[in-house]
Amino acid sequence: MKPADAMQFLGLTGEITETALKAAFRAAAKKYHPDVNPAGAEMMKAVNDAFDTLKPLIGETIQPTETTASHTYPEALNEALNAIIGLAGLSIEICGNWAWVTGETYPHREPLKAAGFKFAGKKKAWHFRPEEWKSASRGSVSMDEIRETYGSTHVRAGQGRALPRASV
């Protein structure tokens, strides 16, 4: 996850202080914890990734970019994941702050569309990202390159636990 994206995901601006980072992490963990949120396991992967991205940058100031202008992204991602979490046969993967869905998606294409997911034909996967965020790659980046760049946490839908993801 990019530092500016991690700042936005945790609702931070300006200088990263240890106190502010810990407070933002605790607030996000409380809000998205699996005990209170059906899609909590997936959301906590993104929260932990944001925290891990920012922890080494304590004392630095991160300038927001135009793609991080939306402070509603964590809530939108949470709503989208909650809308599909109970659908059978789906495999959910968190790469950076994007959610990717593979598996038996064809029977669930309408609920996926309704939740805001878009189909990436070249990757044969559905993805969720903020509407205003544009992808510079135009589909030329493979899923393996995305995983290598942004990290990957593969979560079994409905199980609430992470599965190990082998590097290819």
Nearest alpha carbon to residue 39 among 159, 119, 127, 152: 159
88-106: average pLDDT: 87
Residue of higher predicted confidence among 4 and 80? 80
Contact 12, 38 (CB under 8 A): no
Token reading at 3: 């530092």
pLDDT digits (tens, 9 = 90+) for 110-120: 999 999 999 98
Q: Where are the domains of the chain?
A: 3-71, 75-163
70-92: average pLDDT: 82
Architecture of domain 3-71: Orthogonal Bundle (1.10)
Contact 143, 125 (CB under 8 A): yes
Average pLDDT score, the chain: 79
Res 114: pLDDT: 92
Cα gap 25→48, rounded to integer Å = 8
Cα gap 58→41, rounded to integer Å = 26
Q: pTM here?
A: 0.66
